[in-house]
């Protein structure tokens, strides 16, 4: 009977994460589509607390996209379905001129007028915000938000991602108390895979190790935060988790032969995997991952077993079962809303994770973990959402009560953060002189010409290739390639 009464007092929460970079690179075609799908989900769920975590706000050309970011926020806040959310807290990191601090993260929170008790944490005073004017009403913090005390924001140390000259990766968190229950909401953006060729050398790849290092660094930071204490947290954003690419390639290329193709002009390596009749089944290049059955193959159940980046973190992060297809990389064309781009192996990059303590503050009622806009173009990332019901009066009474680092996390810290050679390994993975090019095998040179010309290709032996005249390569329609049997 008590459980039933407690459940009736639970607060329905809707948590959403979305990498919106491509929206702002094509706002005229994509922004309204995205907003319509998102608001439709809000209307359907009818949550009392809504958290939206955005990454890559403004896209790659932030200085040109500022007006669209403001338009996006206004359209969101002014939508009729949002009218009953009377408390709005929006934190938009927009100071793109500050390389030291800029993360391009946006944390947007909407609290329904029916929520009886609400508090917001102040990370400067390390206590609940006492000024009700800071909590009630609509507050949009944008531009340079470094001094806003009701959020904590941090950019990851540059040596975590040395290959990226100007990384925008980091996290931003807020802390809430709703009807007597305290929790953190953390937006995070981790590093991507720069090269498919490097990613498929082994598992965990160097990129996977780097992501794990930043993730462990973040969780450890929360557990060591004596001034703010440790509370249950939801961690959701673009983790850039990738499938075990080495395993995926092995699975897809059984009984196929591998052939390395190198563009001499651009040093753009790729490997073609061919069947017995010589047809290309899979092509893997630095920024190419293309299967003959690309649009169906990666939506099948077999791929899920290669989603392994969370395995070492199972003691410190939990997740509801995934029942949706990989959230990235979708075509950015409204005419192809369900198609994947052939640039990366599709993966579940966008996730909503939790600390184990969250299980004590949410109801055991069925929750929904899914994707928004399955049949609509939402950019290269599809938003991912989770609905949970938050129990009332679960504390902690004192958020600053300090807890020791869990044993599982301590081991991860030892493995990931003390590996001083990792960043050096990461910094050279994309070197053209790396292991991708050292395989000794029989090579031949071929001239590839467009299909409209004849012959389509002309075989040359290795010695004869050096005699090819420069003028033969001036026409961009003819490319000199080196093909190696791997």
Predicted pLDDT of residue 158: 63
Do you find a cis peptide bond into 299, omega within 30 degrees of 0?
Answer: no
| Banded model confidence at residue 402, pLDDT cuts 50, 70, 90 | low
Predicted pLDDT of residue 52: 98
CB atoms within 10 A of CB 474: 8
User: Chain-wide mean pLDDT for the chain?
Assistant: 84
Predicted pLDDT of residue 420: 47
Full set of structural domains in the chain with CATH: 2-242+292-427 (3.60.10.10), 440-485 (no CATH)
How many residues does the structure list for the chain?
A: 486
Residue 455 has pLDDT above 70, yes or no: no
pLDDT over 90, % of the chain? 64
Least-confidence region, from 54-68, 326-340, 427-441: 427-441
| Banded model confidence at residue 349, pLDDT cuts 50, 70, 90 | very high
Predicted pLDDT of residue 12: 97
Mean pLDDT across 279-289: 95
Predicted pLDDT of residue 403: 66
User: Do residues 150 and 122 lie in contact, with contact meaning Cβ atoms separated by under 8 Å?
Assistant: yes
User: Do residues 55 and 104 lie in contact, with contact meaning Cβ atoms separated by under 8 Å?
Assistant: yes
Residue 333 has pLDDT above 50, yes or no: yes
Mean pLDDT across 126-137: 88
Residue 164 has pLDDT above 70, yes or no: no
Residues 380-395: tens digit of each pLDDT: 999 999 999 999 999 8
Predicted pLDDT of residue 59: 87
Residues 62-116: tens digit of each pLDDT: 778 878 999 999 999 999 999 999 999 999 998 887 777 889 999 999 999 999 9
Between 277 and 261, the more confident residue is 277
Residue 330 has pLDDT above 60, yes or no: yes
Mean pLDDT across 148-159: 86
| Banded model confidence at residue 162, pLDDT cuts 50, 70, 90 | low
| Banded model confidence at residue 413, pLDDT cuts 50, 70, 90 | confident
Q: In sequence order, what are the residues at sequence separation of 6 or more whose Cβ sits closer than 8 angstroms to the Cβ of residue 331?
A: 337, 339, 340, 341, 377, 380
Predicted pLDDT of residue 34: 97
379: alpha, beta or left? (left if phi > 0; alpha if psi -120 to 50): left
Mean pLDDT across 328-357: 97
Predicted pLDDT of residue 186: 98
Predicted pLDDT of residue 428: 44
Least-confidence region, from 216-225, 356-365, 412-421: 412-421
**Dihedrals phi, psi of 31, to nearest 5 degrees:** -60, -50
Report the candidate in 248, 238, 249 with the shortest Cα–Cα distance to residue 328: 238
Mean pLDDT across 284-303: 96
Between 302 and 167, the more confident residue is 302
Residue 444 has pLDDT above 60, yes or no: no
Least-confidence region, from 8-17, 32-41, 382-391, 469-478: 469-478
Mean pLDDT across 117-145: 92
Mean pLDDT across 183-189: 97
Least-confidence region, from 25-29, 214-218, 386-390, 422-426: 422-426
Highest mean pLDDT among 3-17, 49-63, 246-260: 246-260
User: Do residues 390 and 178 lie in contact, with contact meaning Cβ atoms separated by under 8 Å?
Assistant: yes
pLDDT over 70, % of the chain? 80
| Banded model confidence at residue 358, pLDDT cuts 50, 70, 90 | very high
- Reduce the secondary structure of the chain to three states and give it as a string: CHHHHHHHCCEEEEEEEEECHHHHHCHHHHHHHHHHHHHHHHHHHCCCEEEEEEECCCCCCHHHHHHHHHHHHHHHHHCHHHCCEEEEEEEECCCCCCCCCCCCCEEEEEEECCCCCEEEEECCCCEECCCHHHHCCEEEECCCCCCCCCCEEEECCHHHCCCCCCCCCEEEEEEEEECCEEEEEEEEECCCCCCHHHHCCCCCCHHHHHHHHHHHHHHHHHHCCCCCCCCCEEEEEECCCCCCHHHHHHHHCCCCEEEEEEECCCCEEEEEEECCCCCEEEEEECCEEEECCHHHHCCCHHHHHHCCCCHHHCCCCECCCCCCCCCECECCCCCCCCCECCCCCCECCEEEEECHHHHHCECCCCCEEEECCCCCCCCCCCCEEEEEEECCCCECCCCCCCCCCCHHHHHHHHHHCCCCCHHHHHHCCCCCCCHHHCCCCCEEEEEECCCCCCCCEEEECHHHHCCCCHHHHCCCCCEEEEEEEC
Residues 195-216: tens digit of each pLDDT: 999 999 999 999 999 899 889 9
Residue 414 has pLDDT above 60, yes or no: yes
**Dihedrals phi, psi of 220, to nearest 5 degrees:** -60, -40
Predicted pLDDT of residue 400: 80
Mean pLDDT across 412-418: 67
This prediction has a pTM of 0.84
């Amino acid at each position: 009977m008590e459980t039933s009464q407690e459940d009736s007092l639970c607060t329905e929460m809707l948590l959403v994460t979305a990498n919106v970079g491509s929206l702002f690179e094509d706002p005229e075609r994509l922004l309204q589509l995205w907003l319509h799908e998102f608001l439709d989900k809000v209307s359907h769920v009818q949550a009392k607390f809504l958290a939206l975590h955005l990454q890559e706000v403004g896209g790659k050309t932030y200085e040109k996209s500022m007006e669209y970011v403001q338009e996006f926020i206004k359209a969101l806040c002014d939508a009729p379905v949002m009218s009953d959310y009377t408390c709005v807290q929006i934190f938009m990191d927009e100071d793109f001129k500050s390389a030291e601090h800029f993360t391009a993260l946006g944390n947007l929170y909407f609290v329904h007028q029916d929520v009886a008790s609400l508090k917001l944490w102040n990370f400067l005073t390390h206590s609940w915000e006492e000024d009700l004017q800071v909590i009630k009403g609509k507050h949009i913090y944008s531009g340079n938000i470094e001094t806003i005390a009701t959020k904590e924001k941090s950019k990851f140390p540059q040596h975590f991602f040395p290959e990226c000259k100007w990384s925008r990766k980091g996290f931003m968190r807020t802390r809430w108390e709703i009807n007597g229950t305290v929790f953190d909401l953390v937006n995070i953006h981790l590093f991507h895979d720069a090269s498919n060729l490097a990613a498929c050398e082994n598992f965990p790849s160097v990129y996977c190790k780097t992501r794990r290092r930043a993730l462990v660094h973040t969780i450890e930071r929360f557990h060591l935060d004596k001034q703010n204490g440790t509370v249950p947290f939801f961690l959701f954003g673009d983790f850039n988790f990738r499938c075990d690419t080495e395993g995926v390639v092995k699975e897809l290329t059984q009984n196929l032969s591998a052939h390395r193709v190198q563009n001499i002009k651009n040093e753009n390596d790729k490997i073609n995997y061919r069947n017995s009749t010589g047809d290309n089944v899979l092509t893997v290049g630095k920024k190419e991952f293309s299967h003959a059955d690309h649009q169906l193959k990666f939506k099948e159940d077999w791929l899920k077993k290669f989603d392994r980046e969370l395995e070492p973190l199972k003691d410190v992060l939990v997740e509801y079962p995934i029942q949706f297809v990989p959230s990235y990389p979708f075509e950015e064309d409204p005419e192809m809303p369900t198609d994947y781009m052939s640039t990366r192996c599709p993966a579940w990059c966008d996730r909503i994770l939790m600390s184990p303590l969250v299980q004590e503050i949410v109801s055991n009622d069925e929750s929904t973990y899914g994707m928004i806009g399955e049949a609509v173009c939402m950019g290269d990332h599809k938003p991912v959402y989770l609905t949970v019901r938050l129990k009332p009066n679960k504390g902690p009474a004192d958020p600053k009560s300090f807890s020791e680092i869990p044993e599982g996390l301590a081991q991860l810290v030892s493995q990931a953060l003390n590996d001083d050679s990792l960043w050096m390994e990461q910094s050279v993975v994309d070197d053209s002189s790396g292991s991708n090019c050292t395989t000794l095998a029989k090579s031949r040179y071929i001239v590839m010409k467009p299909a409209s010309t004849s012959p389509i290709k002309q075989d040359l032996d290795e010695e004869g290739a050096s005699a090819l005249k420069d003028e033969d390569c001036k026409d961009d329609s003819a490319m000199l390639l080196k093909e190696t049997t791997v």
